[in-house]
Amino acid sequence: MENLKVLAFDADDTLWHNEIFFREIEEKFCQLLGEFLPPHTVARELLKQEIANLDYYGYGIKSFMLSMIETAIQVTGRRVPVEAIETILSYGKEMMMKPVEVMDGVEEVLSAVRGSYRLVVATKGDLIDQERKLKKSGLAHYFHHIEIMSDKKESDFKKLIQRLDIRPEEFVMIGNSLKSDILPVLMLGGHGIHIPYHVTWEHEMIEANDDHPHFMKAKHIREITDLLKG
């Protein structure tokens, strides 16, 4: 760990709360279509639609909103009322207007480590929405570089590491998703610090490989300062 040069932080559910808002809207959506199918069935169909749409729309609120509309059309047999579509659109706008709630301890940690490492935001999602959240968070001034990706695969992290002009072993990714934040970086030879969030999108769930020599886990972001010291 003494060779580290760059600390990269995921944004959603690592620096600020995010997934809880998706789950709140999903619950409203399932209730909206309750007269057609039971809520748990609507939720299952929505998840299938979200995953099917990733290659078309990517991640984020706009993709979620389009997936809700397509799911509504399907589960109602194309009988979804126009008023329901308007309600779904209002859900998306409601999410975009949510305040950005920075997690406890984040600024404390960023202040403590920025003198020793280059700090990077490495997040995926809709460009406009992620830029909006970063601005509202008040955290942008801590970071040397902002990378908003359409996805987080090995190839995406490889490009980022090359742009930063460092070796993979000089890079550590800090985030809540094993699948998107940690595993791709470990596969490249970098380091990963997993900070679980209490709500995780089902598509992001995988088992942890606790035996990997470059893998670490923290219960709270404050713990990473001690982890970095070894």
- In-domain check, residue 83: yes
> Tens digit of pLDDT for each residue in 129-176?
999 999 999 999 999 999 999 899 999 999 999 999 999 999 999 999
Strand, coil or helix: 194: strand
User: Is there a contact between 23 and 198 (Cβ–Cβ < 8 Å)?
Assistant: no
Sequence-ordered strand ranges (E) for 5-66: 6-9
- Kindly report which listed range (170-174, 202-206, 224-228) carries the lowest average pLDDT score: 202-206
- The model carries a pTM of 0.92
Helix (H) / strand (E) containing 85: helix 82-96
Identify the band that residue 4 occupies on the pLDDT scale cut at 50, 70 and 90.
very high
Please work out, in degrees rounded to the nearest 5, the angle formed at the alpha carbon of residue 50 by the alpha carbons of 202 and 129: 95
Which pLDDT does position 229 carry in this prediction?
A: 85
Domain span including residue 114: 6-16+100-229
27: left (phi over 0), alpha (psi -120 to 50) or beta: alpha
User: Is there a contact between 195 and 82 (Cβ–Cβ < 8 Å)?
Assistant: no
> Tens digit of pLDDT for each residue in 27-52?
999 999 999 999 999 999 999 999 99
- Kindly report which listed range (31-40, 65-74, 118-127, 194-203) carries the lowest average pLDDT score: 194-203
| Domain end (from 74, 96, 118) | 96
| Domain end (from 96, 129, 148) | 96
What strand order describes the sheet that includes 145-149?
A: 145-149, 118-124, 6-9, 171-175, 191-194, 215-217
The answer to whether residues 85 and 124 belong to one domain is no
| Domain end (from 96, 121, 146) | 96
Residue 212 to residues 95, 195, 204, Cα–Cα distance (Å): 37, 16, 19
What CATH number should be reported for the domain holding residue 43? 1.10.150.240
What CATH number should be reported for the domain holding residue 171? 3.40.50.1000
The answer to whether residues 58 and 108 belong to one domain is no
> Count of domains in the chain?
2
- In-domain check, residue 1: no
The answer to whether residues 84 and 170 belong to one domain is no
The residues facing 215 across adjacent strands are 192
The answer to whether residues 125 and 82 belong to one domain is no
The answer to whether residues 127 and 159 belong to one domain is yes
The answer to whether residues 10 and 111 belong to one domain is yes
